[in-house]
Amino acid sequence: MNLSPLVQSFVLHFGEMGSRWGINRTVGQIYALLYVSEDALCAEEIVEMLGISRSNVSMSLRELQTWNLVLLRHKPGDRRDFFTTPSDVWAILRTLAEERKKREIDPTLSVLRDLILVEAGDEAERHAQARMAEMHGLIEQLVTWYDDVKTLDSDRLATLLALGAKVTRLLEAKDRLTRWPRRTDEGA
Amino acid sequence: MNLSPLVQSFVLHFGEMGSRWGINRTVGQIYALLYVSEDALCAEEIVEMLGISRSNVSMSLRELQTWNLVLLRHKPGDRRDFFTTPSDVWAILRTLAEERKKREIDPTLSVLRDLILVEAGDEAERHAQARMAEMHGLIEQLVTWYDDVKTLDSDRLATLLALGAKVTRLLEAKDRLTRWPRRTDEGA
DNA sequence: TAGTCATTTCGGAAATTTCTGAAATGACGG
DNA sequence: CCGTCATTTCAGAAATTTCCGAAATGACTA
């Protein structure tokens, strides 16, 4: 691996993390490398820097593309593909959330919906369905929240995060206000 | 696999999902089975229902225990261990979040912190550090939010989820109110 | 059309993970 | 102590995933 120690540590850590998620070590390493590189890199550069085969790079980049995590760039008079990551970390977060939802949450919701509708044969099945319904309900709440929140621009999202739990106190405060005869703002 | 079709579908789906996360198929299946079962199950029952080896069950249950995802139960006059999952899905969500944070987020934050402090040797390293700092900042915001929100009881958490993006509108409304000379509530 | 360059595909090798059966451990009651 | 029962450990088998090199594909130029 032909990298400065600083970048190498970062890349290796992401390799580890990659395997702890679904994505594999190489994919994680390539992503990390692209993320910290100032300029877009071509496949051959990645081969040299990470010391892995050309084909592995090709397949891993393809994988990253299916996740929408890398951008393809071209330079005039050069027919190689160059790769980068989006520079806005909030945008990256959105993409990651969206893709993970698509791969992990949506299929589960779909299975749960289907199974809850099956006619239960006995008490055990009825209980199982009740449990599935609880899980389904929880996930739906989370997804509803997510679908709502993802419409916010990054600034507002940051504001919302900064508020955190104070939101509920705020809500209760506002509740007290708006319940009063004197209306001070339009209800939301 | 010796299960009703309903439960079997659920169990198989979680097996699939399990491998898509870090946990493996068997661990996912066992968790799913425990989750939908009315009563706690002993290892031998799991062996029969899932058609896997006793040792595999033992190791997978141990794995689930390190995740705090299963509860150990005992019946009087029986020295076998029985296993269940917590019944409150919100509690399960908390545990899952906490464990994933511990395994995936905290180590990453720690690595980032360390690397950001290294003296950069050249422009490339300086740029890499800037990127790492951006990532670190984002993750810290998320963690701060999480640490705050996890203190909420389930009802309030549900309320907060239900509010979603409306929070920011609410905030702006409150902002307008509290900025006015006439103070209508104590600032939060 | 031939030659070059970049990328992709793919069979199978290599590495890793998962899983099993057998043996070890441990706890309890007689 | 010994026998029984439940669990755990562990070496290696089995399965899966990852990875490579060679060949194929495709696109552009001379």
User: Count of CB atoms within 10 A of residue B21's CB?
Assistant: 15
| pLDDT single digits (tens) A58-91 | 999 999 999 999 999 999 999 999 999 999 999 9
Chain A residues within an 8 Å CB radius of B38: 123-124, 127
| pLDDT above 90 (res A171) | no
Q: Point out the nucleotide closest to B72 (alpha carbon to C1′).
A: D7
| pLDDT single digits (tens) A16-72 | 999 888 899 999 999 999 999 999 999 999 999 999 999 999 999 999 999 999 999
Query: What pLDDT is attached to residue B169?
Result: 78
Query: What pLDDT is attached to residue B187?
Result: 43
Question: Which is nearest to B42 in space by CA: B82, B85, B86?
Answer: B82
| pLDDT above 60 (res B185) | no
- For the segment B55-76, the average pLDDT, to the nearest whole number, is 96
| pLDDT single digits (tens) B136-183 | 999 999 999 999 999 999 999 999 999 887 878 777 776 777 765 554
Query: What pLDDT is attached to residue B168?
Result: 80
CA distances from A8 to A12, A87, A89, B112 (A): 6, 20, 21, 12
Q: Which two tokens stand for residue A131?
A: 């449990």
Bases of chain D with protein Cβ within 7 A: 5-10, 17-22, 27-28
- For the segment A109-128, the average pLDDT, to the nearest whole number, is 96
Nearest CA in chain A to B143: A161
Residue from A161, A169, A178, A179 whose CB has the most chain B CBs within 10 Å, to mutate: A161
User: Are the CB atoms for A100 and A57 separated by under 8 Å?
Assistant: no
User: Is A148's CB within 8 Å of B169's CB?
Assistant: no
